[in-house]
Amino acid sequence: MLSPILPITTPPQTSSSSSTMAPSSAMAATMFIRSDENSDDYYVPLNRLSVSSLENEHSHKLDIKPLLPRSNSYNSINTRKGSKFLKSWRRRNSGDNSPESDRRSDVQSLSNEVAEAAVDTYRVTRLVFTLLRYLGVGYRWVIKFLALGCYAFLLFPGFVQVGYYYFFSHQIRRGVVYGDEPRNRLDLYLPKDTNGPKPVVAFVTGGAWIIGYKAWGSLLGQQLSERDIIVACIDYRNFPQGTMSDMVKDASQGISFICNNIAEYGGDPNRIFLMGQSAGAHIAACALLDQAIKESSGERTSWSVSQLKAYFGLSGGYNLINLVDYFHSKGLYRSLFLSIMEGELSLRRFSPEVMLQDPNIRSAASLLPPIVLFHGTADYSIPCDASTTFADTLQRAGVNAESILYEGKTHTDLFLQDPMRGGSDEMFDDLVRRIHAGDAEALAKHAAAPPRRRLVPEFMLKLARRVSPF
């Protein structure tokens, strides 16, 4: 629904030098701006302004075309952040090299960063309240919410460090536009070493299909970029902004952008890996299988499954028919889950494991890249059987697939606690070795790299593991 037209009135200007000035110049002018109040974007572009004189019955319309339309901004990074290098270049060419000018530029840059941090904080807070609104305030969710608060408090030292890196690192390109929807953004984590094209991981974050956000992948992005791997964290519409088909569409668009444009950011288009975690693993798997089905039927698409070297699923669920009752017992109630998945009849369509058992899509299965599924045996958010049974189904369909289980690891151990612990991490090492497979120099560099820095004291990690609601 469009918001009402808002008048913005400019006071009349008077001139003593001429009494015959044109009415449109002498009289007050009113601009009417129409915007979409349902827009979830950080800004609303003004594509048309209507300017009318208070004493002129004729209305003049002025078309204003954006310098770079949102739908055509695939080849650019987020320009709202600005470029410190570009500002310095402009100052040098204008002859303004004074320290005062540098200080003004630094203050402006810091102001922009703080503003973006505030916007992202607002978005995260709103996602949390959205989740609570849909889950209700029953006894079970009051307990879970308190547990979540304790869990976040115990990991807070790590979150602060990761958040500072996310907002202020020059190695991150935040908010790169890949589509027309407000949530069609992705973050790029770039290695410091820019020599030669780098392998790329297109990452779809989790969030129970309700609170997924691209910033959730910042810890993984930071640590993989330190191993000379580019990470692209794809944002997508969540429920109730969209349902499952919208999430799959957004993820597919993000993958398309990466496949077709990552070379401009130093990525190797021949070494692109798709990865997802939790709900993101499910969304990415659905997007991958949907793409394979389209290609097998001869449909023209903007990207190809053959452009992906492999798919990595971390703690994902791939058979929703088997999981719907389990999720209900854990608090993701059946009515809510079916609303996200567009009804009970759609559960099969959004269950890659079930879809692959259909003989009619065996030709699509032959197009799938190698698939590796990582899962912890102590995961009670999504049981590890979800990965092992999916791997078995893939193998029966002729796909090169395997599942790797990590004894005693929970849903959050592999993605949060272990990376924050620093040092050696079995899952992280397995992931890096598979991405750099065939690159002896990169593997040797990884083996000789210093241990990852600890972000949270051990006793706090152990307490967080005990109170985790996931």
> Is 379 a residue of the active site?
yes
CA 373 – CA 387 distance, rounded (Å) = 6
SS (H, E, C) the chain: CECCCEEEEECCCCCCCCCCCCHHHHCCEEEEECCECCCCCCCCCCCEEEEEECCCCCEEEEECCCCCCHHHCCCCCCCCCCCHHHHHHHHHHHCCCCHHHHHHHHHHHHHHHHHHHHHHHHHHHHHHHHHHHHHCCCHHHHHHHHHHHHHHHHCHHHHHHHHHHHHHCCCEEEEEECCCCCCCEEEEECCCCCCCCEEEEEEECCCCCCCCCHHHHHHHHHHHHCCCCEEEEECCCCCCCCCHHHHHHHHHHHHHHHHHHHHHHCEEEEEEEEEEECHHHHHHHHHHHHHHHHHHCCCCCCCCHHHEEEEEEECCCCCHHHHHHHHHHHCCCHHHHHHHCCCHHHCCCCCHHHHCCCHHHHHHHCCCCCEEEEEECCCCCCCCHHHHHHHHHHHHCCCCEEEEEECCCCCCHHHHHHHHHCECCHHHHHHHHHHCCCCHHHHHHHHHCCCECCCCCHHHHHHHHHHCCC
Sorted by sequence, the CB contacts under 8 Å of residue 341 that are 6+ apart come out as: 243, 244, 320, 347, 350
Contact 414, 382 (CB under 8 A): no
Q: Could you tell me which of 94, 99, 29 has the C-alpha nearest to residue 62?
A: 29
Domains in the chain, start-ordered, CATH in brackets?
6-65 (no CATH), 120-467 (3.40.50.1820)
Residue from 278, 351, 387, 403 carrying the catalytic annotation: 278
Output the pLDDT for position 66. 41
Return the bridge partners of 62, or none. 49
Output the pLDDT for position 354. 96
Residue from 120, 379, 413, 418 carrying the catalytic annotation: 379
CA 437 – CA 273 distance, rounded (Å) = 12
Output the pLDDT for position 78. 43
pLDDT values of the chain reduced to their tens digit, one per residue, 470 residues: 444 444 444 444 444 433 344 433 333 333 333 334 444 443 333 333 333 333 344 444 344 444 333 333 333 334 444 444 444 444 444 455 555 655 565 556 666 666 666 666 676 666 666 665 655 555 666 777 788 889 999 999 999 999 999 999 999 999 999 999 999 999 999 999 988 999 999 999 999 999 899 999 999 999 999 999 999 999 999 998 999 999 999 999 999 999 999 999 999 999 999 999 999 999 999 999 999 999 999 999 999 999 999 999 999 999 999 999 999 988 888 999 999 999 999 999 999 999 999 988 889 999 999 999 999 999 999 999 999 999 999 999 999 999 999 999 999 999 999 999 998 899 999 999 999 999 999 999 999 999 899 999 999 999 999 998 88
Residue from 282, 375, 411, 436 carrying the catalytic annotation: 411
Please give the structure tokens belonging to residue 13: 């200007």
> Is 411 a residue of the active site?
yes
CA 76 – CA 342 distance, rounded (Å) = 34
pTM of this prediction?
Answer: 0.74
